[in-house]
A and B are shown apart, each in its own frame.
Chain A
Amino acid sequence: MSDRSDGGMSLLEFHVLLALANGPLYGYAIRDAVAAESDGSLTPRAGSLYRVIARMMTWGLVSEAEPAEPLSPHPGLARKYYGLTAEGRSALAAEARRQKSAAALAEERLGAVGRS
């Protein structure tokens, strides 16, 4: 598990895990998925993205994987695919739960204010 002093994973890390939850992807596809799924608010540059992937791998949340479907031929050399590990899935789930309860609390408070 991560051991961060600020107590949680960053938004980018969450979205990388999220993007991989559907199956292994290669780097560029991860970037596109993250951009799409964060409504365009996260557009990581190459260096930052790969460091996040590296950190996830160090923590054991992500590992190299085989692509789920046969490759559609793309230009360039064979790329590495990255996929979630079992720990990665639980970490993603735990974070999603945490965010969900925080979001619920926010709605409750805002709703209460709006009503009065």
Chain B
Amino acid sequence: MKTIMGLLIRLFPSGFRAQFGRDLVEHVRDEHDRAWSRGPLRGLWYSIATALDLVRSAIAERLEPAWVAGGPDTSESEGVGWLMSGWTKDIRHAMRALRRTPGFTAVSIATLGLAIGANAGIFSVVDTVLLDPLPYPDADRLVYIAATAPGSDLPEEFGVSAEFFVQYSEQSTMLEDVALTNSFTSTLRADERVERVWMSSPTASLFSTLGVKPILGRLPVDEDESRVAVISHALWTTWFGSDFGVIGRSYYMSGADREIIGVMGPDFRYPVEGTLLWFPTPVRAERIVPGRFGAPMVGRLAPGATLEGLTAELHTLAQRLPERFGGSAAYARLIERHRPIVRPLRDEVLGDISGPLWVLLGSVGIVLLIACANVANLFMVRGEQRQRDLAIRRAIGAGRGQLFRSQMAESLVVALFAGALAVVLARASVPAFLRAAPPNVPRLGDVSMTVPTLLFTLGVCLLSALLCGLIPAIRASSPNVAGLRDGSRGSTRRRHWGRDGLVIAQTALALVLLIGSGLLIRSFQQLRSVDPGYDTADIFTFQIAPERASLNDAQSFAAFHMDFMDRLAALPGVESVGLVENVPLDEGTSSGRFATEEEPDIESGALLSYTWAGGDYFGTMSIQVLTGRAFTQADHISDLGNVVISKSAADMLWPGENPIGRRLRPQGAEAWETVVGVVEDVMQNGFRDSPQALVYFPLVGQSPGARIVSSPAYVMRTGRAENIAPEVRALVSEVAPEAPMYRVYTMAGLAAASMVQLSFTMLALGITSVLALILGTVGLYGVLSYVVAERTREIGVRMALGAEAKSVQRMVVGQGIRVVIIGVVIGVLVARASTRALSSLLFGVEAADLATFVGMSGAMLLVGLLASYVPARRASSVDPIESLRE
């Protein structure tokens, strides 16, 4: 007990202890004995109270000394208001001092401003996109529901079908509300304007599930069936000029006229960002055909329900589906294997953007640390230059607390000005930055300088002020009057350790960022060199949706397409033209079960993807024909029933055998198709995809009820892919003036877009790592220059005594390299531990890729060498006479 008191007494300032220390010790000892003699309770109470009082008094004494040898210091005795008035005085002094050194002030504010600005910018994106992506009431209760059936041949995760919706909405106690959703493009015609836009036809319960209300009109009810629609705010302003009279008018939407009954608010953009209108799909329990999977479902948890509880309940409910709705034996087997997938809606909506954003936030945080290290160095150098001032102030009685505060005031002023600059920079640059971002990121358009962002920026400013100012302030307030005598010439080991430590930290952090970007750059190169099975250069693609009375069956459409393709091929510079229903990198294919003559049971037939192709599709896309042939004209204008399949499909259906001439039959069809050719596999969904087992149908299908190919994607091989669009548009308006033209891309553009998540992160991380490298290099250079300047005298002496220029250079460079090597070692270790954060983005490269680590470390050492070189040259060119004269 007494030793604790003794330790606490040591918290008092040394001057106070010198005068009163002994008395305090004795006093406490006497009181302690007396209290404990009255009983342990009294004693304990005394001990605690006294300990607290000692701590409080020690702090109070440090902040506002009651004991000042030599008389009262009037500037301290300002009573309780010292906290406020003391700081204003210090800040005023600080601003005056900073104005006297404009170079230092400008560099510090600029460095910190850039770093804080980057942090503020990224945080504003994180705040809007990640922390608040769902503008619905009680959004945490919203869940996304899908399904999985391990052991079946369905994909790992797939959308449910209508019978699930009926079952869940009627019988679930843990779901307050539930809705089926979907999303597709279709034609919207309003007066003179015809376009293909994103729409959704959910169940009417979508709006109540999400908890949204229209700003005009009303929401659909079951009685409306599909005859009504609700439009988005964007559609209302851009197409209808915010006209209130739009309610009640009917327009052509997705194949039928529907009446607009409501307008939604600007925040409502479910399920994809560009959805422009919603019309309800009624679900009739008695008309359901079970097993038509593919619809996402969204639900609202009932109060008190949990995700685990809901998953269990839905599982049980789903098991009863075959009983209630029937279906085949294969369907029953599937249901047995079925397990519901339930996850928070926010996770579903955010998708793949959260990873890159957190990586970005981390990397700009690192840049901030490096910038603070640089500015802290500058402050320390500045503090050393003012050693004389500070020593004099101390000698005439300025308190340590006062000096500490005045240094901190300077770093606070710099940080606050930097913060103001940061807000301006962030506001100006974030919009440009976002234009390079991946599309379909929710709420990206809403990003702005929110209040949380400003608060965050203020917090970062205060943190920077602390980081930059703490060490210099401690140094400034330490009693080193000896420095006065010395003329500040001596170099204490403590000082160098502090500065070296900062440079080591900068080097390590910069290396971490460099390694990260190196990994991403290599991934990007690997991804770009993947062969997806088709060409992406020099190919132009677009879609139209022709509609007229004469186009009413497969034949008429096929004839239209063939004719149109001939005219496209006649455009100058066009080498070949083809078409496909689902163009790779833009749309997904459909999938279904196929029976073969060897495996006639359709329910257990192979699950294959399928699409339609026409014209010279394979030639235009450079998809190699491996055996057999591609489609001919004859295949497209009559129902010969020939199909072309991909290599994976051939391997799946007839492994090791010749598939030409074999027959297969899709589910729901009666006639058999004959395989006439096998083509190489293609990657449909992107370069990380695995090749699909794909069946290509010709334009005219065999059985009645076969799909009519009405709006495929045309592909044109031409060297003028980038600028042929206007001519194509002119042709379209000639041939099919009623048809909107949409999904206009080049395959090269689609390829770039498919990699945008990686390329965006790579770009951003690359910029921050270059920034970090520059800051780190400047820091190292600055430190070494200062060291050389400090040791000019010593160098001069050495050279006067016969040392060669080379050896002096080697000494300086050696100092620099030593620091850089330590920094590199630490950086490698930290990078090793942290590159795992990038693993979801990496492709073809491991998180611990040796080549990248070695390469970047080598680059860092080289940079360190170069940064040391200039000060080294300067050192060796010191004139010994000059230096001794100083």
Q: Interface on A for B, CB 8 Å cutoff?
A: 2-6, 26-28, 31, 45-55, 57-60, 76-77, 79-80
Contact = CB atoms under 8 A, between A and B. Distances in A.
Nearest to B33: A75
Contacts of B24: 27, 46-47, 50
Contacts of B61: 51, 54
A57 B67 CA distance: 8
Given A3-B72, A4-B77, A47-B56, A54 B20 contact: yes
B79 interface: yes
B44 interface: no
A55 to B, nearest CB: 4
7 contacts: A26-B23, A28-B31, A45-B54, A47-B57, A48-B53, A54-B66, A77-B26
B26 A27 contact: yes
A6 B79 contact: yes
Contacts of B29: 76
A77 B67 CA distance: 23
3 closest pairs, A vs B, by CB? A47-B57, A54-B67, A5-B79
A77 B22 contact: yes
Contacts of B31: 28, 31, 46
B396 interface: no
Interface residues of B, number: 33
B429 interface: no
A59 B49 CA distance: 28
Nearest to A64: B19
A28 B26 CA distance: 9
A53 B66 CA distance: 9
B16 A28 contact: no
Which residue, of B16, B55, B67, B81, has the highest number of chain A Cβ atoms within 10 A? Answer: B67
A16 to B, nearest CB: 12
Interface in B80-105: 80-81
Contact of A51 (B22, B57, B80): B57
A11 to B, nearest CB: 16
A56 to B, nearest CB: 9
A20 B546 CA distance: 108
Contacts of A46: 24, 27-28, 31, 50, 53-54
A54 to B, nearest CB: 4
A47 B54 contact: yes
Contact of B23 (A2, A27, A52): A27
Interface in B37-63: 49-50, 53-58, 60-61
Given A52-B66, A54-B67, A58-B66, A28 B30 contact: yes
Given A27-B23, A28-B31, 11 more contacts: A5-B79, A46-B28, A47-B55, A54-B66, A58-B67, A59-B72, A60-B71, A76-B29, A77-B22, A77-B26, A79-B22
A42 to B, nearest CB: 14
B22 A4 contact: no
Contacts of B22: 77, 79-80
Nearest to B57: A47
A48 B57 contact: yes
B81 A45 contact: no
Nearest to B23: A27
A79 B72 contact: no
- Among B20, B30, B55: residue with most chain A CB under 10 A: B20
B66 A55 contact: yes
Contacts of B68: 58
Contacts of B79: 4-6
B74 interface: yes
Contacts of B30: 28, 76
B78 interface: yes
A41 to B, nearest CB: 16
Contacts of A77: 22, 26
Contacts of B56: 47-48
Contact of B19 (A2, A4, A54, A79): A54
Max count, chain A CB within 10 A of own CB: residue among B23, B50, B68: B23
A76 B25 CA distance: 10
Contacts of A79: 22-23, 26
B25 to A, nearest CB: 9
A32 to B, nearest CB: 10
A79 B29 CA distance: 13
Interface centre among B19, B55, B58 (most CB of A within 10 A): B19
